[in-house]
A and B are shown apart, each in its own frame.
Chain A
Amino acid sequence: RKEVEQDPGPFNVPEGATVAFNCTYSNSASQSFFWYRQDCRKEPKLLMSVYSSGNEDGRFTAQLNRASQYISLLIRDSKLSDSATYLCVVNQVYNFNKFYFGSGTKLNVKP
């Protein structure tokens, strides 16, 4: 079983739509959680960390559900520039330099 699983998509949405991605992780010892964005085989870049209480950054909201072992990302008012692949990332409490990546969810925002 993979450490981190994501729906690969693609999610095709019109501009202005709200879209949500989920990600599940298998190891209950996971400590830190992140969403990264990757454009067309370029390097991943941090979108936001995911805190236990949930957090928001502009149009982006991240939630963590430890009991069910999933993380979500909500994007409101989608822009064309949001088109990318979104990677869910977790690491472990005993070694926070060891990271596990989901295979990514592809988002296409259409005019």
Chain B
Amino acid sequence: EAQVTQNPRYLITVTGKKLTVTCSQNMNHEYMSWYRQDPGLGLRQIYYSMNVEVTDKGDVPEGYKVSRKEKRNFPLILESPSPNQTSLYFCASTPKGAPYNEQFFGPGTRLTVL
């Protein structure tokens, strides 16, 4: 089944404790993105990747890191989480090509930072 998976789905952590949210897609898509969703603000792009070893900042990259060592994986790293990073996070992948290509989203990771 073609899909984007994220782990963990739910996480409660404390300020300053490094964490990684994994994202993996099995559709051989070139493009991948991370978003956060907050009430009233919609989805905001954190980072995106055009291909292996090619990443760029989205609109809200502060406090986050990413890496793209393999085409299928795009982990999101919070080196020192803070309460303002409490949010719902989505990973998405898109095939390369025409601009009307669909984004496929993972099921989301609900993160709470205490």
Q: Chain A: residues with CB nearer than 8 A to chain B?
A: 4, 8, 31-32, 34, 41-46, 49, 51, 87, 91, 96-104
Contact of A42 among B42, B103, B108 (CB under 8 A): B108
Question: How many A-B pairs fall under 8 Å by CB?
Answer: 51
- 16 A-B pairs with C-beta separation under 8 A: A4-B42, A8-B40, A34-B100, A41-B88, A42-B108, A43-B106, A43-B107, A44-B105, A45-B105, A46-B102, A46-B103, A97-B31, A97-B48, A101-B42, A103-B40, A103-B41
Grouping DSSP codes into helix (H, G, I), strand (E, B) and loop, the A interface class, with mixed when no group exceeds half, is: strand
Interface size on B, residues (CB 8 A): 24
Q: Does B99 contact A32, Cβ atoms closer than 8 Å?
A: yes
Q: How far is the CB of B36 from chain A (nearest CB, A)?
A: 11
Q: How far is the CA of A97 from the CA of B74 in the complex (A)?
A: 15
